[in-house]
């Protein structure tokens, strides 16, 4: 296809639960993407000249705008992503909080003023917006992954070019409208959907005025983008894949651990980077844990989330198919399906039944792959050092969970885990006020808290003659 033809192309957005086309969005060509950088550069000049208080007030207005439109955003997320209504409502609330948090951070500009050790010089350290930033987001949190980047970028004074996932662009466009209504000037926040992510992103990254890439998505794509950014030494932040261990000790409160496991595994139907992927349960409590966890899994209602189901479809039939393959190969290696929910009659093949697997062999592929679906593989353990080594064996270290009777025991285990975030007697870790991110191949940098805004700034140091 030539670029000229691409000017007129539209991209269909489908409901994964029904397959119905929800809407069409413009399918951006490389030329159109390149032209967006002109508008972003002009927008950046205007936006960086606003005061921190002005930026704060615009972000606060966007926070209120999201709250006012919470129902509409929830329904959009349910329709294009397929998560449950409760998960979508929680996402909208979480996503809006990034605008409130960064409205409050925008006015707390950090800096430093020190005397050089040898004397005669003062060091003045300030922070400046990095420039036009490219933001790339995945489909699993269409609102929150966007606001977690847009909030700090705008607070810092940057203009942004957002490429949402091709499956879920509608929520991103709705958020951009809310930002415009809140007073964001033209060109400062622009969204481009595309049937070819690399077409749009390559056009953006080729422009010298683009100085930042903030990416959330898989480790594989993140690696490729890091290599791409190396060409022009573009500042990068990477929020990549996870493979979270969930450790339960013999002294843990098992009812609390099961509550946490349900949240850590089945929120968003297991399609979360922080989703518990590997359940390491102490042998002494294995029977009680799997019985209670299995009973809860069997009660999950699978179906169209628009009708109130707990677990909707996977994002695509192909994603569900890949997970079925992981389950099949695990059972061929000896794992046992200990519990399952019921699939509704006539469900399309994007639906997957929540499944508990026990007796999973340590070399099973399902323990080393990010499952990204409602499947919980369980492994028994007796030796603490050995289970910590297993937990740390993954190439990614995004999140981890630990349940132990004594807080001290849980904390001691948590400190030994190679993970950017650890839920300590909790099945969820995200909070707009806290640094979200991973170690090893789970990423570079942090989002949220005061850390998130630093990612969109450059440090400048002035060496001032004081003699």
Q: Which residues bind ligand NAP (CB under 6 A)?
A: 136-141, 145, 163, 165-166, 197-198, 201, 216-218, 221, 224-225, 239-242, 273, 370, 398, 438, 443
Q: How far is the CB of 288 from ligand NAP (least distance, A)?
A: 30
In the bound state with ligand NAP, the residue whose beta carbon lies nearer, of 61 and 201, is 201
Q: Do residues 85 and 305 make contact, with C-beta atoms less than 8 angstroms apart?
A: yes
Contacts of 332 (CB under 8 A, 6+ apart): none
Nearer to ligand NAP, 142 or 294 (CB): 142
Contact criterion met (CB below 8 Å) for 11 and 27:
yes
Which lies closer to ligand NAP via its Cβ, residue 163 or residue 267? 163
What contacts 177, CB < 8 A, 6 or more positions away? none
Closest approach of ligand NAP to the CB of residue 106, in Å: 22
Nearest-approach distance from CB 354 to ligand NAP, in angstroms: 19
Shortest Å, Cβ 137 to ligand NAP: 6
Task: Kindly tell me which of 239 and 338 has the beta carbon lying closer to ligand NAP.
Answer: 239
Asked about 158 being catalytic, the answer comes back as no
Q: Which is nearer to ligand NAP, 225 or 404 (CB)?
A: 225
Q: Please, which residue, 33 or 188, has the CB nearer to ligand NAP?
A: 33
Residue 443 C-beta: closest distance to ligand NAP, Å: 6
Residue 411 Cβ, how far from ligand NAP at the closest point, in Å? 24
> Residue 451 CB, nearest distance to ligand NAP (Å)?
13
Q: What's the rounded Cα separation, in Å, for the pair 467 and 459?
A: 25
3-state DSSP of the chain: CCHHHHHCCEEEEECCCCCCEEEEEECCCHHHHHHHHHHHHHHHHHHHCCCHHHHHHHHHHHHHHHHHCHHHHHHHHHHHHCCCHHHHHHHHHHHHHHHHHHHHHCCCCCCEEEECCCCCEEEEEEEEECCEEEEECCCCCCCHHHHHHHHHHHHHCCEEEEECCCCCHHHHHHHHHHHHHHCCCCCCEEECCCCCHHHHHHHHHCCCCEEEEEEECCHHHHHHHHHHHHCCCCEEEEECCCCEEEEECCCCCHHHHHHHHHHHHHHHHHCCCCCEEEEEEEHHHHHHHHHHHHHHHHCCEECCHHHCCCECCCCCHHHHHHHHHHHHHHHHCCCEEEEECECCCCCCCCCCCCEEEECCCCCCHHHHCCCCCCEEEEEEECCHHHHHHHHCCCCEECEEEEECCCHHHHHHHHHHCCCCEEEECCCCCCCCCCCECCEECCEECCECHHHHHHCCEEEEEEEEECC
Min dist CB 15 to ligand NAP, Å, is: 16
Residue least distant from ligand NAP (Cβ)? 217
Q: Which of 273, 447, 454, 455 is catalytic?
A: 273
CA-to-CA distance for 169 and 13, rounded, in angstroms? 8
From 239, 370, 447, 455, the catalytic residue: 239
Query: Among all residues, which ones are annotated catalytic?
Result: 239, 273
């Amino acid at each position: 296809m030539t670029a000229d033809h691409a000017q007129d192309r539209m991209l269909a957005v489908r409901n994964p639960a029904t397959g119905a086309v929800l809407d069409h969005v413009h399918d951006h060509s490389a030329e159109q993407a390149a032209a967006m950088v002109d508008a972003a550069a002009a927008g950046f000049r205007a936006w960086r000249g606003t005061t921190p208080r002005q930026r704060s007030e615009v972000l606060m207005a966007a926070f209120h705008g999201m709250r006012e439109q919470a129902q509409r955003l929830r329904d959009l997320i349910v329709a294009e992503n397929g998560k449950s209504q409760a998960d979508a409502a929680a996402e909208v609330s979480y996503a809006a909080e990034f605008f409130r948090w960064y409205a409050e951070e925008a006015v707390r500009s950090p800096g430093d003023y020190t005397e050089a050790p040898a004397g005669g010089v003062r060091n003045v350290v300030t922070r400046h917006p990095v420039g036009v930033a490219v933001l790339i987001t995945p489909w699993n949190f269409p609102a929150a992954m966007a606001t977690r980047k847009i909030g700090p970028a705008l607070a810092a004074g940057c203009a942004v070019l957002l490429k949402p996932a091709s499956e879920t662009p509608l929520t991103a466009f709705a958020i951009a409208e809310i930002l415009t209504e809140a007073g964001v000037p033209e060109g400062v926040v622009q969204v481009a959907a595309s049937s070819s992510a690399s077409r749009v992103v390559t056009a953006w990254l080729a422009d010298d005025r683009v100085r930042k890439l903030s990416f959330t998505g898989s480790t594989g794509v993140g690696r490729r983008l890091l290599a791409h950014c190396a060409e022009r030494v573009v500042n990068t932040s990477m929020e990549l894949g996870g493979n979270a261990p969930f450790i339960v000790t013999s002294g843990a409160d098992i009812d609390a651990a099961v509550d946490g496991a349900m949240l850590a595994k089945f929120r968003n139907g297991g399609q979360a980077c922080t989703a518990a992927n590997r359940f390491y349960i102490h042998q002494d409590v294995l029977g009680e844990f799997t019985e209670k966890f299995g009973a809860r899994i069997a009660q999950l209602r699978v179906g169209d989330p628009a009708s109130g189901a707990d677990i909707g479809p996977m994002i695509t039939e192909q994603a569900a198919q890949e997970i079925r393959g992981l389950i099949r190969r695990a059972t061929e290696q000896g794992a046992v399906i200990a519990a399952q929910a019921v699939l509704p009659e006539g469900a399309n093949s994007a639906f997957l039944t929540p499944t508990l697997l026990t007796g999973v062999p340590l070399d099973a592929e399902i323990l080393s792959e990010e499952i990204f679906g409602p499947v919980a593989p369980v492994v028994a353990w007796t030796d603490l050092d050995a289970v910590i080594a297993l937990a740390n064996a993954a190439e990614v270290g995004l999140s981890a969970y630990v349940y132990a009777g004594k807080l001290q025991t849980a904390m001691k285990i948590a400190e030994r885990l190679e993970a950017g975030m650890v839920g300590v007697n909790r099945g969820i870790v995200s909070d707009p006020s806290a640094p979200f991110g991973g170690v090893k191949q789970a990423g570079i940098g942090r989002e949220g808290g005061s850390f998130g805004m630093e990612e969109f700034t450059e440090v400048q140091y002035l060496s001032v003659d004081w003699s």
